[in-house]
Amino acid sequence: MYDAVLAETISITGHGGDRIEAYSARPLTPGPIGSVVVIHHMPGYDAPTKEITRRFAAEGYAAVCPNLYSREAPGADPDDAAAAARAAGGVPDERLVGDVAGAAAYLRGLPSSNQKVGTIGYCSGGRQSFLAACSLDLEAAVDCYGAFVTGRPPEGFPLQIEPLAHLTPDLSCPLLGLFGAEDQHPSPADTAALEEELKKHGKEYEFHTYEGAGHAFFAVDRPSYRPQIAVEAWGRVLDFFGRNLAG
């Protein structure tokens, strides 16, 4: 089987017509194949996220991870870029949606594309994956432990972002949620509340909450990494994308 993959930094058109940096990894096959937009976590557009992007290519998907901090810190180290974006007030929801839309348009424009695009996001990107799926026409979305999709912040907690549960009626595609039972943000109660919203609006979803895991169990370079659970959860992701994006 021919299994060559091309991974490279590219430029795509993001929100507002801005040219933004992105990391692309795709199989060099004629297709047709599905596509994945990888939404990086708050600490940035970093090496482990690029590794995740390459994994999707190796699994047969064209994948693009937009650098959500391109505007604040073009060319900077990922950690410095994350700090610069934070100092500038973070990534506005509207801009995130525009950047994911740009990545999805780029992927659908590839000659190998079967026109099916999914998103996956981690941590803050989990929330953003849900946001994108409620704002854009997509074929699948994965939320990996995204906080504040549902759940009110504690009293006196001056949250600068909005919970998204009210957008549930607009969810355009099946949702896979992967969570840690020991995570407090989102807590099992928060994800149960999201599940209720999804049921109420007749949305297709699949949630897995893993015992023995907290936040960021996919993060291979952090103490929160749970190898066995990450292997199991990767299997869930590939099964989900296989059903919704392949072919």
Q: Does 33 engage in binding with another protein (CB under 8 A)? A: no
Note whether 120 binds another protein by CB under 8 A. no
Q: DSSP letter for 154, please.
A: P
Min CB(168)–another protein separation in Å: 21
Residue 220, classed as helix, strand or coil, is coil
Torsion over CA: 10, 13, 15, 19 (sign): positive
Q: Which is nearer to another protein, 83 or 110 (CB)?
A: 83
CB of 46 to another protein, least distance (A): 8
DSSP class of residue 112 equals T
Nearest-angstrom CA–CA distance, 222 and 161: 25
Q: Which residues of 105-118 are buried (b: 16+ CB within 10 A; e: fewer)?
A: ebbeebebbbebbb
User: How many residues are recorded in the chain?
Assistant: 247
What is the C-alpha to C-alpha distance for residues 67 and 103, in angstroms, rounded to an integer?
10
Contact 196, 164 (CB under 8 A): no
Provide, rounded to whole angstroms, the least separation between the CB of residue 178 and another protein: 16
Question: Is position 48 an interface residue for another protein (rule: CB under 8 A)?
Answer: no
Q: Assess 43 for contact with another protein (CB under 8 A).
A: yes
Kindly tell me which residue out of 17, 156, 158, 227 binds another protein, with binding defined by CB under 8 A. 158
4 binds another protein, rule: CB under 8 A: no
Told to check if 162 binds another protein by CB under 8 A, we report no
Query: Site map for another protein, 209-228, x if CB under 8 A?
Result: -----xxx-----xxx----
Per-residue b or e along 173-194, where b marks 16 or more CB atoms closer than 10 Å to that residue's CB: bbbbbbbbebbeebbeebbebb
Out of 86, 95, 108, 236, which residue is the one contacting another protein (CB under 8 A)? Answer: 86
**By the criterion CB under 8 A, which residues form the site for another protein?**
41-44, 72-73, 76-77, 79-84, 86-87, 90, 123-124, 147, 158-161, 183-185, 214-216, 222-224
